[in-house]
Amino acid sequence: MTEIGEEKKSFLARLGGLTRLIFGRTTLFILFLLLQVVVLFGGFFILGERIIVLNYIMGFVAMVIMVYVVNSRRDANMKMTWIVIILAVPIFGVVLFIYTRVQPGTNVRSERIAQLIEEQRAYLAPDRQVVEEELAYARNEYGIFKYIYEGGNYPSYIDPGIKYFPLGEDKYREMLRQLASARDFIFMEYFIIEEGEMWNSILEILREKAESGVEVRLMYDGTCNLTLLPKGFVGKMEDYGIKCKVFSPMVPFLSTHQNNRDHRKILVIDGRVAFTGGVNLADEYINKKVRFGHWKDTAIMVQGASVDSFTLMFLQMWNIDEHITDDYGRFIVAGNDRIDNDEELRRGGYIAPYGDSPMDDEAVGEKVYMDIISKAEEYVHIMTPYLILSETMVHTLIFAAQRGIDVKIILPHIPDKKYAYWLARTHYHELISGGVKIYEYTPGFVHAKVFCSDDIRAVVGTINLDYRSLYLHFECAAYIYDNPVIEDIAEDFDDTLSKCERITVENCRRFSPVGKVLGKALKIVAPLM
């Protein structure tokens, strides 16, 4: 009788799950999108003989668009993808291209970001003393610091305090400790929030702090609303006294700005401490839930004047849909010396936190990575979950290896997305043949986004080596130069490498034939994925 009862419960649970899948927000969202695609493009198939005239018109428009694309400032792979689509399916390609270019919502958002940058400029002016020291002692880095300021609108700072976390659970423990000490404000901006042990313990502290008068602002990306968070989550947070926003909520209407997600991970507490890195607020990031084997992720905590950049980075995204000017001054802590006497904090050198926006023509994240590769004298070590590269990046990596630089890349062995895995492996043979060393993390999934070079420079942040991160998402990172924390990052890379399998040309030959074909086919549209 007990067994029958358990089977009945199991059946009802499966039935409930199927019902939620069929009638849930995600399914309805997809159905609405498909309906719009049918309405938008279905009309072409009921025009009858007039479709011939339309084809001539579209052919002419297609030629004009291709000339425009070839002469645009886009990445070469992006240009090729659009040309292939327009040549293969001219009507669909022309309509899709025009649709992606004529988006009032995207233009409004771009103008608003430019306005916010101007509002914040006075708070992000470079310190003259720092600039002079860079020119005197770090002249080789002055150019990249200058670019990060002029291209990304964020200055560099001297003598930061930095702590590196080689795993998500390390960051989590420090997060809880720092959140518990908050007195004035807490700013949180994350790509993913999912209910579980990690989020529930953080929420408990946030509720207590909000009740005691601490200003708590929470922002997360709209994709969470589809599957990860319950309906009414924002209202629930507001009931707790937490100011909560969803960045670009997913709505069932075709819009290209929905392709520009907020992939940043930022936590700022009282203007004295900031966190960034790959770690989101969900249990797999701290290995409390196993999804793709062991989850390898990284993060940093920074203290000192550089926290201001993360504070203003957060406020820029928070105010993107507001029509008022925030009082930035009340969140900026006076004085540069706001670093704890923590022996684990590494002091010295320089740091330049930066954000990257898809709303301008500057691919800051990509250019910083390429600068590191190009300046390397001994080694460049990289950890990234995805490897969907432009030809320029491929050639830059290979040229570094040909110069005698030790170029190593650690990737996941257990992928979270099959298509990304297939695409990554299309680059393996060319990179390995060119001297780049590829490794896969056999215990599971690598979600870290880390560059480390010559024991003197590093980047830790949210920026993957794929088109989505480099061109389509809002991202953030920190460029670190000549700080002892780089030794910790280099040591972690070596430790991770000891758990990896090196991929050889022979390995590449043994890859699944189906995966190879699918990867090469997907490469055509990779820049749009």
CA distance 266 to 253: 29
Q: Is the pLDDT of residue 19 over 60?
A: no
Structure tokens at 33: 């999108």
Q: Is the pLDDT of residue 289 over 60?
A: yes
CA distance 258 to 219: 16
Average pLDDT over residues 428-454: 97
- Bigger pLDDT: 392 vs 127: 392
- Bigger pLDDT: 81 vs 428: 428
Determine how many CB atoms are found less than 10 A away from the CB of residue 15.
10
Q: Identify the residue whose tokens are 């966190």.
A: 275
Average pLDDT over residues 488-496: 98
CA distance 452 to 406: 11
Confidence band of 104 (pLDDT split at 50, 70, 90): low
**What pLDDT score was predicted for residue 442?**
97
Alpha-helical segments (H) within 124-276: 128-137, 139-152, 168-180, 197-211, 224-227, 233-239
Q: pTM here?
A: 0.86
Q: Which residues contact 303 (CB under 8 A, 6 or more apart)?
A: 160, 161, 162, 272, 273, 274, 338, 339, 340, 345
Q: Is the pLDDT of residue 69 over 50?
A: yes
Give the whole-number percent of the chain exceeding pLDDT 90.
56
CATH class as words, domain 364-528:
alpha beta
Residue 510's alpha-carbon distances to 64, 102, 438, 515, 516, in angstroms, are 44, 45, 15, 11, 10
Q: Is the pLDDT of residue 23 over 60?
A: no
Q: What are phi and psi of 359, to 5 degrees?
A: -90, 5
**What pLDDT score was predicted for residue 21?**
42
CA-wise closest residue to 241 among 288, 269, 209, 267: 209
**What pLDDT score was predicted for residue 255?**
52
Q: Which of the given ranges, 50-54, 94-98, 249-253, 289-293, has the highest pLDDT on average?
A: 289-293
CA distance 46 to 297: 52
Q: Is the pLDDT of residue 17 over 50?
A: no
Q: Which of the given ranges, 76-80, 128-132, 211-215, has the highest pLDDT on average?
A: 211-215
Confidence band of 250 (pLDDT split at 50, 70, 90): low
pLDDT single digits (tens) 34-55: 655 565 556 556 555 565 666 6
Is beta strand 450-453 parallel, antiparallel or unpaired with respect to 457-461?
antiparallel
Per the CB < 8 A criterion, the answer to whether 307 and 154 are in contact is no
**What pLDDT score was predicted for residue 117?**
87
Q: Is the pLDDT of residue 497 over 90?
A: yes
Q: Identify the residue whose tokens are 């689509």.
A: 85
Average pLDDT over residues 193-213: 97
Confidence band of 279 (pLDDT split at 50, 70, 90): very high
**What pLDDT score was predicted for residue 107?**
73
Per the CB < 8 A criterion, the answer to whether 376 and 194 are in contact is no
Give the whole-number percent of the chain exceeding pLDDT 70.
85
Q: Is the pLDDT of residue 24 over 50?
A: no
CA distance 85 to 45: 19
**What pLDDT score was predicted for residue 41?**
59
CA-wise closest residue to 372 among 163, 162, 144: 144
Q: Is the pLDDT of residue 445 over 60?
A: yes
Residue 398's alpha-carbon distances to 85, 370, 382, 491, 504, in angstroms, are 29, 12, 14, 24, 15
CA distance 62 to 88: 11
Q: Is the pLDDT of residue 26 over 60?
A: no
Per the CB < 8 A criterion, the answer to whether 388 and 467 are in contact is yes
pLDDT single digits (tens) 406-438: 999 999 999 998 989 999 999 999 999 999 999
Per the CB < 8 A criterion, the answer to whether 351 and 377 are in contact is no
Least confident among 323-337, 375-389, 421-435: 323-337
Least confident among 33-42, 156-165, 437-446: 33-42
Least confident among 87-91, 300-304, 335-339, 350-354: 335-339
Q: Is the pLDDT of residue 461 over 80?
A: yes
Q: Give me the DSSP letters along 130-143.
A: HHHHHHHH-HHHHH
**What pLDDT score was predicted for residue 344?**
85
Tell me whether the CATH fold assigned to 113-356 matches the one assigned to 364-528.
yes
CA-wise closest residue to 300 among 282, 278, 332: 278
**What pLDDT score was predicted for residue 8?**
44
- DSSP symbol at 223: T
| Arithmetic mean of pLDDT over the chain | 86
**What pLDDT score was predicted for residue 219?**
97
Residue 61's alpha-carbon distances to 57, 70, 410, 525, in angstroms, are 6, 14, 44, 21
CA-wise closest residue to 236 among 274, 267, 270, 195: 195
Sign, CA dihedral 374-375-380-383, equals negative
Q: Is the pLDDT of residue 32 over 90?
A: no
Average pLDDT over residues 393-416: 97
Residue 28's alpha-carbon distances to 14, 221, 231, 250, 294, in angstroms, are 20, 19, 14, 12, 33
Determine whether domain 113-356 maps to CATH 3.30.870.10: yes
Structure tokens at 418: 């099959």
Q: Is the pLDDT of residue 323 over 70?
A: yes
SS3 state of residue 284? helix
Q: Where are the domains of the chain?
A: 2-105, 113-356, 364-528
Average pLDDT over residues 106-119: 84
CA distance 442 to 63: 48
SS3 state of residue 512? coil
CA distance 357 to 86: 27
Average pLDDT over residues 13-34: 48
